[in-house]
Amino acid sequence: MMLAFRGEIWFWEGPAPWYFVTVPEPESRELEAVASLVTYGWGMVPVDAEIGGSRWTTCLTPKDGRYVLPVKAAIRRAERVDEGDTVAVRLHVDVDA
């Protein structure tokens, strides 16, 4: 399954601060429909993610009825993006595994 969307990078100041992009509702519903096929616990969905020319493997986390994509520092630096920037995201979920 391939998903593409645009979203804003936001910062979470929790006990383990991190940057995320929230997956929009329509794409989150698509992910929810296949989550049971790919999750390995806590609703986490493994994905291959892409922003610009950067690709990485990570897991989406469910939050408030949608999913959030963590965006690590190396990706933000490589793509020259930061909190508040809107980015184009591509996600690949391997539902055939």
The residues that bridge with 4 in the sheet, in sequence order, are 90
- Residue 59 in domain: yes
- Residue 72 in domain: yes
- Residue 88 in domain: no
Number of domains in the chain: 1
Structure token pair of residue 85: 């920037």
Cα–Cα distance for residue pair 28/67, rounded to 1 Å: 6
Per-residue model confidence as pLDDT tens digits over 26-41 = 999 999 999 989 987 7
Residue type for position 83:
E
- Residue 63 in domain: yes
The tens-digit pLDDT sequence of the chain (97 residues) is 999 999 999 999 988 789 999 999 999 999 999 998 998 778 899 999 999 999 999 999 999 999 999 999 999 999 999 999 999 999 999 987 5
Q: Model-level pTM?
A: 0.92
- Residue 54 in domain: yes
The residues that bridge with 6 in the sheet, in sequence order, are 88
For residue 97, what pLDDT is reported?
59
